[in-house]
Chain A
Amino acid sequence: MSRIVAGPFNRVEGDLEIALDIQNGKVDSAEVNSTLYRGFEQIMLGKAPLDALVYTPRICGICSVTQSVAAARALADCMGIEMPRNGQLATNLILANENMTDLLTHFYLFFMPDFARDLYADKPWFAEISNRFKATSGSATAVMLPARAVFLHLMGLMAGKWPHTLTIQPDGSARAIDRAERIRVVTIISAFRKFLESELFGDNLDTINSLSSIDELNAWQASKSWDHSDFTRFLHISEELELHKLGKGPGNFLSYGAYPLTEGHLFAPGQLIKGKRTDVTISAVTEDHAHSWLTPLSAPVNPMQGETTPDLDNDNAYSWCKSPRLDNHVMETGAIARQMLNRNPLIEALVAANGANVHSRIVARLLELASVIPAMQTWAKAIDPSAPFRHETKLPDSARGIGLVEAARGSLGHWIEIKKGKISQYQIVAPTSWNFSPRDSFGIPGALEQALEGAPVRPGETEPVAVQHIVRSFDPCMACTVH
């Protein structure tokens, strides 16, 4: 047995270190260390409740709107209100704009460049992939960055700027858009759709969204040359490198449900534990500090009772991240979990075949890009510029609330308690806190820790490339993880 301390990892939104015990050319066990502590949960105490809308987006520059929405929903829960329809539509559009930008950024800038590494130079596909995806110099970056920037004009119009907006309020959107602006929003989304259809998928999104089985996906792939589009390029190298055998997750999935309107979510919420689907039992969410540099707890607690006090004397600790569990189970969250809970037939088939793995996680993300963009087009057209965007509502002096939302990378929750007009409790459980948690008090490894077990390590590798593929397949956000 030998040990490697790998890090720092980049293209993970923040800093990350992983200790790997290696045996017989494979990872035997892994310890995932989120290396940065900032203390938002302590900063929030004693603040005016609405100030959460200023502070919490600044937890993260890539999930900024998601943090806004979680805070707004936690405050709305305190108020016991629902946004007017325009507010819901605007929130969905702004959030989807961030999430779709994230899925795009993750695929092109964070995940694919690892296949352009020189260690793959002997592969027949290398010249094409390297030319397309090489970090900073690849041809994809040159077309993707401008398309990304123009897509984010939706933020300029509907949210002032990105990241870090204050437009999203508990009781609606503070930016009513007029008729001309609504048309510009429709146009921005249509233009981005064209980019996805020409560069990423090489086909109409409706066709991509109609693929409902592995056979149909294979048939679609077979009908194109392997270098037809970025999706076919990925499918080809995934096949060649057998990415479906890498990074199998814990098999339990959590989604708080994404893009709600009064009549329901675009992607249904739920939990899937040991094959059993139910509604999310939010009261069964707990966090413990058994392996975190935090003052120990006598038992795992629900975030409403959660505590956050740094303590470097915890000898069992190896991360600043807490260990969130759902009814004591390790959960995987993210696009694949959302699509499992929403019963996307292709994703269900991929997971039935080989579980959540590097291949199925990426396919789930790309399918989500294909399916959310048409929904955005519908939401934009549904905005009624003559109807209200916000119903101003006063906060109660004392209340408790929970705000749940899906970031691109998974389930985010804010737990707030207000006493005498001030925040008396604020706890945040972020997507990558679930996925990259350390071991819990039962010694059960977190989702990434489990996914890394068995990963191949080539002789002499210090940051094994298989480990890098697995880590980045989760689209981690280390800034959110500890906060």
Chain B
Amino acid sequence: MHNLLWLQSGGCGGCSMSLLNAESPDVIALFEAADINLLWHPSLSEASGREFLAILNDILNDRLSLDILCIEGSMMTGPNGTGRFHVMGGTGKPMIEWVSELAAKSRHTVAVGSCAAYGGITAAADNLTDATGLQFEGEQTGGLLGDDYRSQSGNKVVNIAGCPTHPDWVTETLTSIAMNEHTDDDLDELARPRMYADHLVHHGCNRNEFYEYKASAESLGDRGCMMENTGCKGTQAHADCNIRPWNGQGSCTNGGYPCINCTAPEFEEPGHTFTRTPKVAGIPVGLPADMPKAWFVALASLSKAATPNRLKQNAVSDQLIYPPTIYKRDK
């Protein structure tokens, strides 16, 4: 049995809400199947107040083993390093102190969501609250626990980045840990589980035919590829959102809006309006992953010249204007 404790700090709770969307089976059944014993979760557990604090104290006094510590939300280190932007209710003690003490006991430490991983949305603008991730601050390692931190199993903090996280990213990572299979080799450079982070959002995008011909959307809701004009980062963003749909059949790109690369550190400050593509000399600044610029420009101009009228017209409409032509055998 693997004891799991889940705490929230400087975030929106959306990764927990997303976790409840897990299906076939549901999250409770998934935990049971993985032999994970939920010590406490803020949305799911009965224990409140002293009953809950007794669990924390039992962990800190080695009366209860903590196999997996999941943290959701940024670590609020401000103002001036005091952590007073989040003092845990009923305790008078800043959340960052609770997390540091518990992380020293946990066999595995998991940051759920981009806030806990890198600072995330809470660290936007001038990061006035000094929000940081558990082991990263933006792209730099460090964060609350520091570059040298290792959990009791000897592993780094696992960054299940995303805003929010897909329920399967969380349940599959936790199950892998519970199966005693997880090592640091399973993580990419940004400590994200490679199970989902070795893919691009572009993979399986249902706008791929528009991408091939650079038939671009001009406005949100248009059916065309969103890379050229409306800010889509799906060709660079590491996640499997279009291979493994959200809420049954969705994804950002399928919802009519661009990928904002929410699994990446510092996605919250892209340096441009989220839904507009920054360009230099008419060429998007962010090119598809591993694509040499000269080839991109050459291929784009060639494919634009070859764009069928059907795609040109459909790309700038929110509804299908021209269905594909039906070919019949000549008789």
Contact = CB atoms under 8 A, between A and B. Distances in A.
B254 A160 contact: yes
Interface string B97-140: 00000000000000000000000011011001101000000000
Given A156-B250, A166-B252, A385-B319, 9 more contacts: A9-B48, A37-B76, A62-B14, A64-B14, A135-B44, A149-B20, A153-B249, A156-B248, A176-B318
A154 B43 CA distance: 23
Contacts of A135: 44-46
B241 to A, nearest CB: 8
B18 A163 contact: yes
Contacts of A386: 319
Interface string A143-181: 001101110111111111111111101001111101000
Nearest to B72: A61
A17 B249 contact: no
B252 A388 contact: no
B43 A10 contact: yes
A7 B49 contact: yes
Given A156-B246, A162-B21, A50 B28 contact: no
Interface of A: 5-11, 13-17, 33, 35-39, 42-48, 50-51, 54-55, 58-62, 64, 105, 109-110, 113-114, 116-117, 134-137, 141-142, 145-146, 148-150, 152-167, 169, 172-176, 178, 310, 312, 385-386, 388-390, 392, 462-463, 468, 479
Contacts of A38: 10, 74, 76, 85, 122, 129, 131
6 contacts: A38-B85, A50-B273, A50-B274, A165-B255, A166-B257, A463-B49
Given A10-B47, A35-B86, A37-B85, A136 B22 contact: no
Nearest to A159: B255
Interface in B283-317: none
Given A7-B90, A160-B256, A50 B275 contact: yes
A146 B26 contact: yes
Nearest to B73: A36
A479 B79 contact: no
Most buried by B among A61, A173, A176, A385: A61
A319 to B, nearest CB: 11
A10 B48 contact: yes
Contact of A149 (B14, B23, B260): B23
B69 interface: no
A389 B51 CA distance: 50
Contacts of A161: 246-247, 250-252, 255
Contacts of A388: 318
B59 interface: no
A446 to B, nearest CB: 17
B325 to A, nearest CB: 19
B193 interface: no
Given A174-B220, A462-B49, A64 B255 contact: no
A450 B231 CA distance: 48
B152 interface: no
Contacts of B250: 155-157, 159-161
A10 B16 CA distance: 13
A389 B44 contact: no
A42 B13 contact: no
A114 B45 CA distance: 10
Interface in B185-242: 219-221
B163 interface: yes
B60 interface: no
B77 to A, nearest CB: 13
A178 B319 CA distance: 8
B282 interface: no
Contacts of B84: 312
Given A11-B42, A165-B257, A176 B86 contact: no
A105 B51 CA distance: 23
Contact of A468 (B13, B48, B74, B219): B48
Contact of A166 (B44, B129, B219, B275): B275
A176 B10 contact: no
A61 B16 contact: yes
A8 B247 contact: no
Most buried by B among A45, A48, A109, A149: A149
A163 B17 contact: yes
Contacts of B253: 160
A173 B256 contact: yes
A6 B49 contact: yes
A310 B79 contact: yes
